Structure 1
Amino acid sequence: MHRYLFASVAALGLAACGGNTSADADGDGEITGAEVAEMADEMVKPEAGQYRATTELVELEAPGAPPEAVEMMRGMMSRSFEYCLTQEEADRGFEEMARESQDENCSFEKFDVDGGDIDAVMTCSGQGEGTMRMTMQGSGGRTSSEMTMTMEGNIPGQGEGRMVMNTSHERIGDCPAEG
């Protein structure tokens, strides 16, 4: 599940790309990790600083799961934390993150950006875990982003289900001084 969330963060960063663009650069109907990374290399880079990230599980359908398991998942997936994006990380932009989000088990069905808006669909298959299809819609810029992700498919340990999550990242100041 964390792999899917990491991939969505990479996709969200790409929303800061300008213009109306599909990642399917060669028009063959398949969107490769290289095509997504190429788009990431050409986009606006994030601003360095201290960020607050918030993830909220707003919907969970896990047929057959006991209510306490659903509440435990809701607690694990709904959280807020802060992190420092260093100048070095900001200078690298989203290309490295986009490359890391792709593996042989995941592929994009759709990846369109228009200004700061994103509309993407990614499918991942895990060994023995079935398939998870993730739809990502949101917007982002140099200092903030918001996205809604809908994941449908096999939820590990729960069977077929559906989750809807909202995520946001907001620059809240400079990174704390080390000392």
Structure 2
Amino acid sequence: MKFWSIIPLLALTACGDSDKVEMKNASVSEVAKTMEAKGAADSFIDPGAWEQTVTFVSMEAPGMPPEAKDMMARAMGKTQVHDVCLTEDKAKNPRADFFAGADKNCRYEHFKWGGGKIDLKLDCQHPNAHQVMELTGNYQPQSYEMAMTMTNEGKEPGEHMVMKMRVDAKRTGACTAEQLAAAKQEEKAP
């Protein structure tokens, strides 16, 4: 699961009741097909420039070396701001794997989307690790707020970790020509 790859795609717009999607024990592709069939992705996001603020709330990693724990402790409570340009094509046609990447080892325990709310739990079973992402939040056409918990359980004690973060975003206007060109180039990348 690529944590940072989901950040630019969390900007959601309000859907009507007919666009609500609620699924349990579903594959990534099943959720994507249902979203497409209901038209939930048609108004997925407003294209344009978005400012996203990521705040690291907490991290528990019992087996992590002390120097790494100290570095993470200094990051807690601090924010990172990301400026993201979302093209019209990306806004109207998000990729089917927008939360899970191309990872075939992931399933949604539950996926609820619509009416200004999102609530999902994604479970990924890998040969050497078990990862879970839980995401809840509220959204409007021009802003959103999300709380995320990422859990990793590996084979080694140092590979056990629980990280909590908050993501707040607002649309700031149109993308500059430079941002738009870079975003379109990124869309073409495999």
Q: Match of 1:37, as an amino acid?
A: A
CA positional deviation for 1:134 = 1.7
- TM-aligned CA distance change 1:68 to 1:172, over 3 Å: farther
Instruction: State how far apart, in whole Å, the 2-side matches of 1:169 and 1:143 are.
Output: 8
SS of corresponding position for 1:145: strand
CA contact (8 A) 2:12 2:141 kept: no
Distance 2:99 2:177 in 1: 30
TM-score by length of 2: 0.72
Matches within 5 A, 1:33-112: 33-41=28-36, 42-43=39-40, 44-73=43-72, 75=75, 78-92=79-93, 94-98=94-98, 101-112=101-112
2:164 matched residue in structure 1? 164
Checking the alignment, whether the CA contact within 8 Å between 1:137 and 1:148 is kept in structure 2 is yes
Match of 2:173 in 1: 173
Q: Which amino acid aligns with 1:148?
A: A
- Aligned to 2:177, the other structure's residue is in SS state coil
Where do 5+ consecutive residues of structure 2 fail to align?
A: 182-190
The Cα offsets for residues 23-42 of structure 1, whole Å up to 9 and x where unpaired, read as 43xxxx53122332134331
Identity of aligned residues (%): 30
**Cα 1:91–1:33, aligned 2, differ >3 Å: closer, same or farther?**
same
Partner of 1:19: 17
> Which amino acid letter does the alignment assign opposite residue 40 of structure 1?
M
The ranges of structure 1 where at least 4 consecutive aligned residues each deviate by more than 6 angstroms after the TM superposition are: none
Checking the alignment, whether the CA contact within 8 Å between 2:64 and 2:158 is kept in structure 1 is: yes
Which amino acid in the other structure matches residue 87 of structure 1? Answer: E
Alignment check: 8 A CA contact 2:49 2:86 kept: yes
Deviations 1:7-65 (A, max 9, x none): 5765x4567443284443xxxx5312233213433122311211111212101011132
How many residue pairs are counted as aligned between the two chains?
171
Root-mean-square deviation (CA), in Å?
3.2
